[in-house]
Structure 1
Amino acid sequence: MSSLFQNAYYLGINFNAILYGAELVIYGLTIQALFRHRTQWTRTDKFYMVFSTAILCLITIYMSTEAVFGQEMWIVNADFPGGAAGWFVENVNVWYQTLGTASSVLRNILTDALLIYRVYVIWTDVRVIAFPCVLYIASIALGILELYLSGKPNAHFFVGKAMQLGTAYWASTISLNIITTSVICGRLIYLGRAIEVARNVKGRGMAALRYTGTVSMVVESALPYSMAGLAFLVSYGIGSDISIMFGAFYGMFSCISPQLIIMRIVTGTAWTRDRMAETMSALELQDVEGRAGVHATTIASEVTSTMDDKSIQRTV
């Protein structure tokens, strides 16, 4: 274990604490929004409350195990033969580290499921989520195998078969993140442009920014989650010691990004199936009306031209 790895681990723990505070704030705002209309709760509201609480509990387990591991390595066992590096090698597969890894895998399963559902909501087409679903099933299987191999005696998350299988697991789940992010961003860009063109006046299209603007695109597509995942996958795949820090970012955003999506849903600022259906119907109607208007204008022009020709002939 190099000095770079230890520094990256230390920074990762500190960033975990900062981002965990942000997660608590977002969770509090989400629950507050839900309780404002608690007399009108639907099954969906109850589901999102349970979902938000579940990922908060899982991220708490993850960051707690990382903090405890760091404390044991640098403070409690500072006099261990071989120092921090020696203690790390001997205890890398300690039970609470396996628990932290299990919480990460389960959290990814929940977050990826939410992203696939959001793709369906925004596209309203089952065919779009077919390939992401295949990747999702593969990532679950690989995640379970990764937990088994990394939790075995004398196993090492960053060495040997555990690392090879870990690379396959992270590649599948992060590829899923990138695909869902891309198709959601693509759909929102299309909708934003279509709404702007249909309204034909830039100022009148500003109300659509609530659903198709930059903030909406970043949150709805879980862009920070995918970007952190890509950085982690590349560094982990090449065996870089800094991967542990990017892994901390990825772990925290796997909780913050879905929490932001849920907050937008419960506050009424996110896309829903009903809103998407209404928007597409309105765009189709305006498109038909626009084509009808162009057709009527063309006919009127032809009639006017014909009348002008006849007038000229009579005059002559």
Structure 2
Amino acid sequence: MAGIPPDTGALMSAVLEGILYGFSVLMFMGTIWALTYKSRMQDINRPIAMVAILLLLVSTVHMIVTIIRVENGFVKYRDTWPGGPAAFFADITEETYVIKHALYIFQTVVADGVMVYRCYVVWQSIRVIILPSMLWCGIVVTGIHAVYSVSQASSNPGDVFASQLTKWITAFFASTITTNLLCSGLLAYRIWMTERAVSRVRATSGTMMPIVRILVDAAVLYSIVLFSLLICFLSGNNGEGVLTDLVMPVISIAFYMVLIRITFNRKKHSHISKAVFSTPRGTTGSGDTEQGILQQYPMKPLQVNVPKFTHEDSPLAYRVDNEDQLSPCKVESL
């Protein structure tokens, strides 16, 4: 193992997580305001609101456990734990360590599950989410096994980088990174294709591109943290403990950031947002994009007006109407 000492890392992660947690609480308040502002109760997206509340609750419990862990290591067991605070924070079988990582696994499973669900809502195709769903199942399996292995690591409780743990934790990180990048790419591509179809039908452009940018930004933010965490873990650096605690508020921030921007864009351009997030159920893939857009934007009937004229060679003139029929009409004297 290398990097910062375990006790220093625990104190650093508690401070940084507290800062990011406070920011995530502000983002949560903005999310609830965006969902409820000028909206009737029946118009609120309740599943998304419940997910937002769940992420806040999980992050709050994780923050509380972090504070309890720091208090136990530096105050409660400072003189009684064999090896002092450094040994306490290095013990991966300690109760608060296992609880914190179980909460992290749970929040990752929820956040990645929402990403897969968004792909299905936007694409309306089971085939598109087959691979993301398989990756999500891999996240669940590897995450549960990793937490269980950590709690049962009695042979080497002070080493999270033990060989029997590395393969499961590495597989978990690889699965969640791949799922995040794949789902974000599918969402951005679908929105971009919809934007092109809408611009051809209604001669508008650029209204959905802010959503594409915010999806990319959120994916980049989350992926950078996960890549850094994976690199620290593979290199045996104790900084992985700090980054693991930081991922918790980062997941919430990325979710709230996307939700706020999408909500505001939907209220500002509701006619286009419905085309993106309420694709007709008859569509099955990218090949039906233009058909779905045309169903959302039906073309108005084309009305052709044929000019009328009168022939003045006789007391009775004839009028040409739109049905190409001649009907007599009286000619007024000049």
For the pair 1:225 / 2:222, whether they are aligned, the reply is: yes
**Which secondary structure state, in structure 1, belongs to the residue aligned with residue 266 of structure 2?**
coil
Q: Is the 8 A contact 1:195 1:208 kept in 2?
A: no
- Deviation per residue, 1:216-261 (Å, 9 max, x gap): 5424xx4322221122112212212222222233222222222333
**Which secondary structure state, in structure 2, belongs to the residue aligned with residue 93 of structure 1?**
coil
Which residue, 176, 185, 197 being the options, matches 1:173? 176
Q: Is the 8 A contact 2:120 2:129 kept in 1?
A: yes
Distance 1:153 1:31, change over 3 A: same
Partner of 1:158: 160
What does 1:113-152 correspond to in 2, within 5 Å?
113-152=113-152
Q: Distance in 1 between matches of 2:153 and 2:228?
A: 29
Partner of 2:323: none
Distance 1:50 1:73, change over 3 A: same
Q: Distance in 2 between matches of 1:275 and 1:185?
A: 11
Partner letter of residue 177 of structure 1? N
TM-score (norm 2): 0.70
- Residue 35 of structure 1 deviates from its aligned partner by 3.7
Partner letter of residue 108 of structure 1? T
- Residue 265 of structure 1 deviates from its aligned partner by 4.7
What does 1:158-307 correspond to in 2, within 5 Å?
158-160=160-162, 161-190=164-193, 205-212=205-212, 214-219=213-218, 222-267=219-264, 269=266, 274-275=275-276, 277=279, 280-281=290-291
Q: Distance in 1 between matches of 2:273 and 2:103?
A: 29
Q: Is the 8 A contact 2:5 2:86 kept in 1?
A: no
TM-score (norm 1): 0.74
Q: Distance in 1 between matches of 2:153 and 2:211?
A: 50
Which one is further off, 259-268 or 102-111? 259-268
Q: Distance in 2 between matches of 1:55 and 1:114?
A: 11
- Residue 205 of structure 1 deviates from its aligned partner by 2.9
- Structure 2 unmatched ranges of 5 or more: 281-288, 300-334
Partner of 2:54: 54
Q: Is the 8 A contact 2:191 2:276 kept in 1?
A: no
- Residue 284 of structure 1 deviates from its aligned partner by 6.8
Identity among equivalent pairs (%): 19
Q: Is the 8 A contact 1:181 1:226 kept in 2?
A: no
- Residue 112 of structure 1 deviates from its aligned partner by 0.7
Distance 1:144 1:100, change over 3 A: same
**Which secondary structure state, in structure 2, belongs to the residue aligned with residue 174 of structure 1?**
helix
- Deviation per residue, 1:282-315 (Å, 9 max, x gap): 8779xxx9xxxxxxxxxxxxxxxxxxxxxxxxxx
RMSD: 3.3
Q: Count the aligned residue pairs.
A: 278
Partner of 1:312: none
Distance 1:18 1:117, change over 3 A: same
Q: Distance in 2 between matches of 1:75 and 1:231?
A: 31
Q: Distance in 2 between matches of 1:38 and 1:208?
A: 22
Q: Is the 8 A contact 1:228 1:246 kept in 2?
A: yes
- Deviation per residue, 1:266-290 (Å, 9 max, x gap): 44539856435488458779xxx9x
Q: Distance in 1 between matches of 2:70 and 2:59?
A: 17
Distance 1:25 1:81, change over 3 A: same
